A = this chain, B = another copy of it.
């Protein structure tokens, strides 16, 4: 008799005894196997590693009874179709960035990051305590999804440029690989957003088919070697001042889940949320130093470029709000939160950080 059969028979035998105890146990710790598709490849180690930690935690917390098998982008669903497949129910859950679904409805963008939106800490505060997670989940429910914050990259870099950007004029006609909301905003200033598969970016930059590409930040960008073909490394990525990842779950599957497993899944997401950002914060400084040593040239976007992009973003917010009620509601919630958050940040946080950054520049740390 193999072990599996043996356990099953034990179960049947137990079921012959009075029925109250066994179901209580069965209900709280049933054996469940789920699949989680990621929008990211294994090569993006911090993102993929977070999915691995999550899956391992859920298994450990349930003594192996709730197993979530994880798949990198493309194995069971294309990267940018992850949430769509989960909504349909063909896959139980995914690790994704909600702004990938911006084309479906721009409201999706608020889950991850919007141009000149919130930084990573503010996004957490707005999501967990500013009402945003409830607003977003009410919106996601129409797509048969429920989402939980599950990571953040921090403020991303602006990307890799073949030429310096010295003024708004230099943006005109610039072929920049940038997707979604950021691409829509910057196109108002004459940029021509490009869509290109990851593997095609390096040769396209080398040949000059495109002029620039955005990606993530030093830790992830380092592997692409883009500094060899586009040495100007611009910052900040104002279209994602704190890009939040989510785990999205099919709403029916979520509702069927025993309460203890729901609690465990949510806590696994919270753990992913805090640890992913921490891992990026640990990995980015070393990667940045190596990139600069290898020839990358750091450049902030000029102030007039930032100001023009900010104005263009505000134009976009007004335009989309005029025709999309969900977007308007959530934008207004974000904007109100943002004004207070950046007021408060100027007091103790920024003053402490500025003093410490000044000491770093003076080599006093």
Binding site for B on A (CB under 8 A): 3, 6-7, 9-11, 13-14, 17-22, 24-25, 27-29, 57, 60-63, 116, 119-122, 124-130, 154-158, 217-218, 235-238, 241, 258-260, 263-264, 266-268, 270-271, 273-275, 277-279, 281-286, 288-289, 298, 300, 306, 310, 335, 338-357, 359-361, 364-365
Contact = CB atoms under 8 A, between A and B. Distances in A.
Contact of A129 (B125, B218, B278): B278
Contacts of A361: 346
A277 to B, nearest CB: 7
Nearest to A158: B348
B310 A359 contact: yes
A356 B116 contact: yes
B125 A278 contact: yes
A242 to B, nearest CB: 8
A135 to B, nearest CB: 14
Nearest to A351: B236
A364 B155 contact: no
Contacts of A271: 266-267, 270-271
29 contacts: A6-B18, A6-B20, A7-B24, A10-B19, A27-B63, A29-B63, A60-B259, A60-B260, A61-B260, A116-B356, A121-B277, A124-B278, A125-B277, A129-B279, A155-B349, A155-B353, A235-B352, A236-B349, A236-B351, A236-B355, A270-B271, A284-B344, A285-B341, A285-B343, A285-B344, A298-B347, A310-B355, A346-B360, A346-B361
A261 to B, nearest CB: 9
B124 A281 contact: yes
A339 B351 contact: no
B348 A360 contact: no
Q: How many copies does the complex hold?
A: 2
A186 to B, nearest CB: 15
A236 B352 contact: yes
Contacts of A356: 116, 119, 241, 338, 342
Contacts of A156: 348
A43 B340 CA distance: 24
Nearest to A218: B344
Nearest to A154: B349
> Which of A119, A284, A306, A344 has most chain B Cβ within 10 Å?
A344
A350 B341 contact: no
Nearest to A63: B28
Contacts of A298: 347
Contacts of A116: 355-356, 359
Contact of A217 (B279, B310, B348): B348
A53 to B, nearest CB: 10
Given A11-B21, A263-B60, A356-B116, A154 B278 contact: no
Given A235-B348, A278-B129, A285 B17 contact: no
